[in-house]
Every structure is written in structure tokens, then in C-alpha cells.
Amino acid sequence: MTTKSLSEHATNDKLDDISTDIGLLLLRVVFGGLLAAHGSQKLFGWFDGPGWRANADGFHEMGYNPGKLFGTIAGLSECTGGVLLLLGLLTPLASAIVIGTMINAINASWSGGLLTGKGYESALLFAVAAAAIAFTGPGKFSLDAGNPWQRQGFVWGVGAIVLAVVAGLLALILKWVF
């Protein structure tokens, strides 16, 4: 190999090394931003959303009583989980918040089917994206990167999913009890 080809090879390796981090950045920013926007629709009526009162009434009609409490928790969870993922901050916890919320969203839209446009496909997609980020971590371009609290990998991914399932099922149990 010539000196030039070694240099080009090293440059390609550097680009390949950051390509995963760029992909994670794109995923986190778009996904987290969309999720935060959904939460702001529920809480504030932004982006043509229902706003807090209509959201609370909708949760009441779905059997989540009191609707004000469950609707507020859903909106706050979407906003908080979305913003944390967008920033790449406290990533396993952010993923758990999103997955737990999406467990309930899947339950609420289950009767609509999977690929009907009125079903649970969006909630399932959001849950899977959050789970993937829990396992991979947020990447180098995040607020977690290089900090002592940065967590990622198999144990943290499984931990996020377990926490999410417990929280999601607790909400469902409360729904069924009340």
C-alpha cells in the first residue's frame, strides 16, 4: 500500500466508526422529537392536538380512570421520554418511560388491529425503537456520551424493558381495578 492509500483507508475507518453514532443521532432526534410532540399535543394542544381537557376525557372513555390522572401521565411520559431520547440523556430510563407508555398505547389501540391505520402499529414501532436505543445506547453525539452515568448494552437494555413492562402492567392493573 502506498502512503496515500493508507491515509485514505484511515479516513474511511474514521468515517465508518462514526456512522453508527450519526445513525443513532438521527434516530434519537427524529423519534424523540416526534414523541415529545405527541406528548405536547396531549398536554397543551400544540400541533393540532386535543389539549389536556379533551385528552383527559379521551382517557376516561378508554377506561383509564381518572382520565385526568392517566391522560396527564401519558402526556408527561411522552414529552419527558421524547426529550430525554432526543438529547441522549439518561437513555435507559428514557427508553423505559417510552416503552411503558407504549405498552398502554398498544393496549388502548389493540382492537384496531395491526395494519389498519387505526391500530397499534405506531405504538409498537415506538416501543421497538425505544428498546433498540436502550440496548445500543445514544451514541457519541449525546449528553450521556463520556459521562459517568452513561449506560448501554445488554444488561441495561433488558433492565429498561423489565422496568417498562412492570410500569406498563401496573398502569393496566390500575385501569382494570378502577
Rounded-to-integer distance, Cα 94 and Cα 78, Å? 10
Q: How many CB atoms lie within 10 A of CB 100?
A: 26
Q: Contact 20/70 with Cβ under 8 angstroms? A: no
Q: Which residues of 120-152 are buried (b: 16+ CB within 10 A; e: fewer)?
A: bbebbebbebbbebbbbbbbbebbbeeeeebbb
* Position 1 pLDDT exceeds 60: no
Q: Contact 25/139 with Cβ under 8 angstroms? A: yes
Q: Contact 99/161 with Cβ under 8 angstroms? A: yes
Rounded-to-integer distance, Cα 64 and Cα 55, Å? 11
| pLDDT, position 8 | 61
Q: Which residues of 19-34 are buried (b: 16+ CB within 10 A; e: fewer)?
A: eebeebbebbeebbeb
| Alpha-helical regions (H) of the chain | 3-44, 51-61, 67-87, 91-109, 121-136, 154-177
Reported as a single tens digit per residue, the pLDDT across 96-125 is: 999 999 999 999 999 999 988 889 999 999
* Position 10 pLDDT exceeds 70: no
- CA torsion sign for 52, 58, 60, 64 is negative
Q: How many residues does the chain have?
A: 178
Query: Per-residue confidence at 17, pLDDT binned at 50, 70, 90?
Result: confident
Q: Which residues make Cβ contacts (< 8 Å) with residue 148, sequence separation at least 6? A: none
pTM confidence score: 0.87
